[in-house]
Amino acid sequence: MDETIQLQAAGLKKKFGAETVLNGIDLDVHKGEVVVVLGPSGCGKSTLLRCMNGLEAPTEGSIRLDGETITSGGRNITKQRQRIGMVFQSYDLFPHKNILDNITLAPVKVQKRSKAEVEQQAEKLLKRVGLWEKRKAYPRELSGGQKQRVAIVRALCMNPEVMLFDEVTAALDPEMVREVLDVMLELAQQGLTMVIVTHEMQFARAIADRIIFLDGGVIVEEAEPEQFFTNPQTQRAKDFLQTFTYEKRKTS
Ligand code: ADP
Ligand code: MG
């Protein structure tokens, strides 16, 4: 990680009708940094990520990538969005296209790159996530964990500067969660700038350079993972972490 601010939210507010979902978010993500965003369901984590890659327009404030404002729907939005990759819970692969074609479609069509060059990169990335053998298979022939790894490769093949992950393992069977998280750990080690929303607390602790705890539309707590998980400063963070711990009920 270096000191360069790559992605920045400044005074970010987002309202849906009368509901204020984000109420003034200031967040600098540095080059090579891994920021994990935690918070209760409905607190605005997805909305924050969606604003970050221009899928939602801020009501107030701004998002900047390398100092350049991202304006949802603006003239440069397509270009900007290519620089910020996003992976969701649902991988949305095209069912009638094989894995390789699913991955190469956007780089060829949107980025106008040569098919041969993109395929070469796609195969290299597929090897890295252990799925090269599946390059000619169709999505229905893959497990959920494999499809999610393909979705990550598809995003990476656009050569983004930043990757956003929104609960990418939430819909997976437990035994497939690990293989997806391992890919993300490897990306972090290679210095990719990442913003991750996850409910996997051990993973969050392992991968994060910094934890952001969101509640009530604001950043309630911001800390290094060790600090956040062993010694949260706010009651709201304590209550949130409590929902992930189990204790034997005392019988008397
Ligand atoms: P989280 O990802 O933390 O669970 P979300 O960002 O998905 O939370 O949602 C935060 C709040 O914003 C919720 O109350 C949700 O209903 C509302 N919301 C999200 N997207 C929209 C939308 N497009 N239109 C109206 N309300 C929305
Ligand atoms: Mg969400």
Q: Residue 157 and residue 232: Cα distance in Å, rounded?
A: 38
Beta-carbon neighbour count of residue 148 at 10 Å?
A: 27
What's the gap in Å between 21 CA and the centre of ligand 1?
A: 7
Please identify, by atom number, the ligand 1 atom nearest to the C-alpha of residue 197. 2
**Confidence at residue 72, expressed as pLDDT on a 0 to 100 scale:** 67
pTM for this structure? 0.94
What residues contact 239, with CB distance under 8 A and at least 6 apart? Answer: none
Which ligand neighbours the alpha carbon of 38 most closely?
Answer: 1
Distance CA 196, CA 36 (A): 5
Residue 165 phi, psi dihedral angles, 5° rounding:
-125, 120
- Token pair 């069509």 in the structure block, residue: 109
Ligand 2 center to residue 120 CA distance, Å?
34
Closest approach atom of ligand 1 to CA 50: 6
User: 45 C-alpha to center of ligand 2: Å?
Assistant: 5
Tell me the CA–centroid distance for residue 24 and ligand 1, in Å.
16
Block means of pLDDT (10 residues each) for the chain, 252 residues, are 88 96 98 97 96 93 90 70 91 96 96 96 96 98 96 96 97 93 96 97 97 97 97 96 85 68
CA nearest ligand 1 atom 1, residue: 42
The atom number, within ligand 1, closest to the CA of 47 reads 6
> Token digits for 112?
């106008």
Q: Are strands 34-38 and 210-215 parallel, antiparallel or unpaired?
A: parallel
Q: Which pLDDT score, from 0 to 100, does residue 251 have? A: 72
CA of 115 to the centre of ligand 2 (A): 34
Pocket test for ligand 1, best of 19, 21, 90, 168 (most atoms within 8 A of CB): 21
Query: How many angstroms does the Cα of residue 213 sit away from the middle of ligand 1?
Result: 17
Closest ligand 1 atom, CA of 214?
A: 3
Residue having the nearest C-alpha atom to atom 20 of ligand 1: 47
DSSP lists the bridge partners of residue 213 as: 38, 221
Pocket of ligand 1 (CB under 6 A): 16, 21, 39, 41-47
Cα(16)–Cα(24) distance, rounded to whole angstroms?
14
Task: Point out the ligand nearest to the CA of residue 41.
Answer: 1
Residue having the nearest C-alpha atom to atom 19 of ligand 1: 47
